[in-house]
């Protein structure tokens, strides 16, 4: 998703000084893209809203450290991505979910064949796979950046991307429209 | 006939394909179609409509920000009071204690503080993300350092040799707080591990 988010320097300066109205203006400007990013990475709307909230609490705390280098959206997006990835990690620790895609592979084929479209296919990917696909292919992060955010290797990111695309291809081929 | 794997196709899209894959692609309709499908799938992903949150979370964010600011103000006031009390104690008990302040001690404390400032700058604010607890702790320490700086400034404006011990004591306190702040910055969470 290409985002052309323009926030005036005046608003940013006021936000950096702690002005609540300016901070709300930032929130309104970035609310949808942050939520969308989180929602695409996470499976559930409630978690995505939590990430939205956590992201802006972080923005408010750290806005004074933003030096205007690069687009503000890039800075906010980095925070949101990290928060979403942290959420996945916390959930994984809580559920001790397997890190690979075996959980999805074992699901009944009928549920896949019945309702497939691209969004549903995305939902069928592992949390990690979906995050890598979205961050790399849509948000434009490099494998190096993704590896750094996930504390993994570049090879891991590349391999997750290829595996996820292979899975997406299978899922979309199985969709009724594709038959 | 061996075809390109998804790894090959993803690499080809990133212009990182192997010589074999690039050569094979020129002569294989199946793999060209697969690569086209990959491009289309990614274009579809990018074209998915943006999702918007069902609820407005700004009020929650706002309330939390306001509450934290009140808390920080109270803490700042507390630390200022503590610093002032410490200063008063030094001034009161100084006549009964041997003078320990010296220009050397002051210079040492100031040098240590400058070194820590430099270290802090190296681990400084580069826009990376730190955890909420680390950010909160760092903010508290910064408030305490600001309170100590305020006392140092007031002492600097006052005259009299009686201030020397107090100034050294405050600089030492500043060094201790700076050490803690550096520790927080060095160990901060700048990435999340998946």
> Tens-of-pLDDT digits for all 194 residues of chain B?
789 999 999 999 999 999 999 999 999 999 999 999 999 999 999 988 889 999 999 999 999 999 988 888 888 777 777 877 877 777 676 655 555 556 788 888 888 888 888 887 776 555 455 566 676 777 778 888 888 888 888 777 665 555 677 788 888 888 988 888 888 777 664 444 44
Q: Residue B13 has what pLDDT?
A: 94
From residue B13, give the alpha-carbon distance in Å to each of A129, A133, B114: 18, 14, 51
The verdict on B43 touching A (C-beta cutoff 8 Å) is no
The structure's pTM equals 0.64
Of B33, B12, B10, B29, the closest CA to residue B21 belongs to: B12
The verdict on A156 touching B (C-beta cutoff 8 Å) is no
- Could you tell me the fold of the domain covering A1-97? Rna Polymerase Sigma Factor; Chain: A (1.10.1740)
Q: For residue A18, is pLDDT > 80? A: yes
In this predicted model, which residue has the larger pLDDT, A79 or B141?
A: A79
Q: Residue A35 has what pLDDT?
A: 97
Which residue in the set B6, B41, B192 is minimally distant from A149, CB to CB? B192
CA-to-CA distance for A80 and B57, rounded, in angstroms? 15
What would be the CATH architecture of the domain defined by A99-179?
Answer: Orthogonal Bundle (1.10)
Task: Measure in Å the smallest separation between the Cα of A107 and chain B Cα atoms.
Answer: 22
| CA quadruple A17, B114, B171, B163: dihedral, nearest 10 | -100
Long-range contacts: A63-70, Cβ < 8 Å, 24+? A63/A12, A63/A15, A63/A16, A63/A23, A63/A26, A64/A16, A65/B125, A65/B127, A66/A12, A66/A16, A66/B127, A67/B125, A67/B127, A68/A9, A68/A12, A69/B127
Q: Which residues of A touch B30 (CB under 8 A)?
A: none
| Pairwise CB contact (< 8 Å): B9 & A24 | no
Asked whether the ipTM of the predicted complex exceeds the cut of 0.95, the reply is no
Which residue of chain A is at minimal alpha-carbon distance from B62? Answer: A20
CA-to-CA distance for B14 and B17, rounded, in angstroms? 7
Q: Which of residues 45-104 of B touch A (CB under 8 A)?
A: 45-46, 48, 50-55, 57-58, 60-62, 64-66, 69
CA-to-CA distance for A151 and A167, rounded, in angstroms? 24
CA-to-CA distance for A119 and A77, rounded, in angstroms? 21
Q: Is the dihedral of CA B164, B168, B173, B174 positive or negative?
A: positive
Q: Which of residues 110-169 of B touch A (CB under 8 A)?
A: 125, 127-130, 132, 135-136, 139
Q: For residue A47, is pLDDT > 70? A: yes
Domain ranges of chain A: 1-97, 99-179
CA-to-CA distance for A36 and A30, rounded, in angstroms? 10
Q: Residue B18 has what pLDDT?
A: 93
Q: Residue B125 has what pLDDT?
A: 53
Count the neighbouring beta carbons within 10 Å of the beta carbon of residue A158.
20
Q: What is the CA radius of gyration of chain A?
A: 18
| Pairwise CB contact (< 8 Å): A159 & B64 | no
Which residue of chain B is at minimal alpha-carbon distance from A91? Answer: B194
Q: Which residues of A touch B51 (CB under 8 A)?
A: 32, 35-36, 39-40, 48
Q: Residue B154 has what pLDDT?
A: 76
Task: Measure in Å the smallest separation between the Cα of A127 and chain B Cα atoms.
Answer: 10
Token representation of residue A39: 């929602």
């Amino acid at each position: 998703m290409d985002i052309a988010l323009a926030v005036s320097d005046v608003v940013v300066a006021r936000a950096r000084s702690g002005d609540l109205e300016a901070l709300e203006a930032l929130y309104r400007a970035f609310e949808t893209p942050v939520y969308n990013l989180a929602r695409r990475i996470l499976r559930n709307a409630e978690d995505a809203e939590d990430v939205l909230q956590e992201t802006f609490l972080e923005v408010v705390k750290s806005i004074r450290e933003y030096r205007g280098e690069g687009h503000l959206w890039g800075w906010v997006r980095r925070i949101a991505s990290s928060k979403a990835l942290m959420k996945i990690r916390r959930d994984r620790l809580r559920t001790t979910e397997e890190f690979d895609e075996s959980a999805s592979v074992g699901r009944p084929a009928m549920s896949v064949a019945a309702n497939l479209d691209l969004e549903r296919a995305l939902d069928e990917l592992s949390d990690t796979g979906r995050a890598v696909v979205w961050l790399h292919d849509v948000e434009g992060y490099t494998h190096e950046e993704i590896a750094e955010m996930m504390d993994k290797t570049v090879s891991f990111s590349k391999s997750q991307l290829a595996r996820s695309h292979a899975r997406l291809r299978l899922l979309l081929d199985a969709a009724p429209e594709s038959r | 006939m061996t075809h390109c794997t998804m790894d090959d196709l993803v690499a080809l899209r990133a212009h990182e394909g192997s010589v074999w894959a690039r050569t094979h692609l020129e002569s294989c309709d199946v793999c060209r179609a697969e690569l086209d499908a990959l491009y289309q799938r990614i274009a579809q992903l990018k074209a998915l409509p943006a999702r918007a949150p069902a609820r407005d979370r700004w009020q929650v964010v706002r309330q939390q920000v306001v509450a934290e600011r009140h808390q920080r103000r109270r803490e700042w006031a507390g630390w200022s009071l503590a610093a002032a009390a410490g200063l008063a104690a030094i001034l009161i008990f100084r006549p009964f204690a041997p003078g320990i302040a010296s220009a050397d001690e002051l210079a040492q404390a100031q040098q240590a503080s400058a070194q820590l400032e430099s270290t802090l700058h190296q681990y400084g604010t580069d826009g990376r993300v730190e955890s909420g607890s680390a950010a909160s702790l760092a903010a508290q320490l910064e408030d305490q350092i600001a309170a100590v700086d305020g006392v140092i400034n007031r002492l600097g404006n006052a005259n009299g040799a009686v201030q020397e011990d107090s100034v050294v004591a405050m600089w030492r306190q500043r060094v201790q707080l700076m050490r803690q702040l550096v520790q927080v910055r060095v160990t901060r969470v700048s990435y999340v591990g998946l």
